[in-house]
Structure 1
């Protein structure tokens, strides 16, 4: 896959970096400043509220059904299979990630792949409020960062590929409508569709990227076309979540499939002697 020079819009959709910059001070600690904290009031892995919401009945409105489904997922463990597809100027970039994740406890492991990238693979371990990311130099070592300090550097990328972030965005769906019944993998599911507001689209972005996105939004007349789709299975759980957005001639679609609900998740935390603490990571793979 060849490198290309991308527009500002495209850069916001997919940052063509060099992988995990484990010692990077790209945006420094300012990325987790007060402006961002004001936007994100719930820490990842804090599932008490999700568990309560999952047991509440709904009045049958599509938006309530979707939010109840997301709450059920956030209160248990799942297997995640996700792709992030970015298209623009005749080019297509596909990033994929997969692995088991206990959303209730914030524990999981993911394998992230970006074929053709300068760094095309990365492993991640989430545990104890930390995220461990494999490093290319030195080989066999890991970077470690506080999960709640991580920020994304491109639109609709979850910080460090955190599936909790995607579900948080999905739960903020607006203008929800019932799209009817279909199947996924032979299983019947009900499809609901809606939109995402600007605050949700920009959720978790580093300050620098948020400012760039503001510039693009103003140039486009103040709005960013977006959509959200959630497929809910017969047990009221999200089988698939798809979020998409468009900037000028470039668009991105993040599709996350959820399976194996309730299965135990085991992770192995890297030995401290092989880890390097950091407060910022960047590049295509970590988002």
Structure 2
């Protein structure tokens, strides 16, 4: 017997953020940051042609993580009546972790809620100019310790997390040749497993997902698509699932200007460091 639409929508909403929220902050302080130098693109030879589709996708993810890119991500969520979403735009040296992102949360016509991020190696600086509690100044946290709170999200919106998930996809297969923004690509598709979707997810949310994974896999059909250009680099990814006419969630990440120099913004001075476990809300992932 098929599950009711209400039940399926509930499963989606259990693991996604369809409403607003802030990012918490701690008191631990690492001192003042220093201005970062401009980032240079990595010069890597084209990856050898892999023998199978899964190897091709893994090689593309690895090659992309070694270069620079302009980031354009769109996340859409719906429970069937209310729609919400985020846009994430900027440019990053993916290998060096230098660059900046601008995150905007929107919900049913309300004014967008912003989050600004600066990446500087192992540290991410962030601020919410419209934080309801008044904490509008810059703060910082460890990039490698940040965790995911919602399905199909990345910790602190870090696109390298998505590339790691792409490399973890089981049984990726070629489904066709397509163009992405005019660039010829090979389109691959896979069914992400629980390990891939819960990579670096907070324990409580990972436990929720695991307890409902059977129904989610059977009725919501989690899916992943990857587009790889002729140079063997990932130029687009899409993760998502749907309850038919009810709820749905999808994440579309487009990477462009691969290999071009990225300006590394000045690190905000005096930003206090906060424990990653205190950071939450849909803006931060």
Please indicate the TM-score interval, normalised by the length of the shorter structure: 0.7 to 0.9
Query: Residues 230-241 of structure 1 correspond to what in structure 2 (within 5 A)?
Result: 230-241=226-237
Pairwise CA distance, 1:157 = 0.8
| Structure 2 residue aligned with 1:174 | 170
**1:221–1:190 Cα change, 3 Å:** closer
Retained in 2: the 8 A contact 1:15–1:154? Answer: no
| Structure 1 residue aligned with 2:37 | none
Pairwise CA distance, 1:158 = 0.5
List alignment gaps of at least 5 residues for structure 1: 1-5, 25-49
| Structure 1 residue aligned with 2:252 | 255
Aligned length: 255
Retained in 2: the 8 A contact 1:51–1:72? Answer: no
TM value normalised by structure 1:
0.79
CA distance in 2, matches of 1:220, 1:227: 11
Are 1:165 and 2:158 matched, yes or no?
Answer: no
Query: Residues 31-42 of structure 1 correspond to what in structure 2 (within 5 A)?
Result: none
Query: Residues 124-135 of structure 1 correspond to what in structure 2 (within 5 A)?
Result: 124-135=117-128
Report Cα offsets for 1:83-137 as digits up to 9, x if no partner.
1111222332221101101111122210000124797101001113111111335
List alignment gaps of at least 5 residues for structure 2: 1-8, 28-41
Retained in 1: the 8 A contact 2:11–2:216? Answer: no
Retained in 1: the 8 A contact 2:22–2:282? Answer: yes
CA distance in 2, matches of 1:218, 1:173: 18
Query: Residues 47-66 of structure 1 correspond to what in structure 2 (within 5 A)?
Result: 56-66=47-57
Pairwise CA distance, 1:72 = 1.2
Query: Residues 129-144 of structure 1 correspond to what in structure 2 (within 5 A)?
Result: 129-135=122-128, 136=131, 138=134, 141-144=137-140
Alpha-carbon RMSD: 2.8
Runs of 4 or more, structure 1, over 3 Å off, are 6-9, 116-119, 137-140, 218-224, 245-250
Retained in 1: the 8 A contact 2:139–2:274? Answer: yes
| Structure 1 residue aligned with 2:147 | 151
Query: Residues 28-107 of structure 1 correspond to what in structure 2 (within 5 A)?
Result: 56-107=47-98
Quick one: which of 190, 197, 200 aligns to 2:196? 200
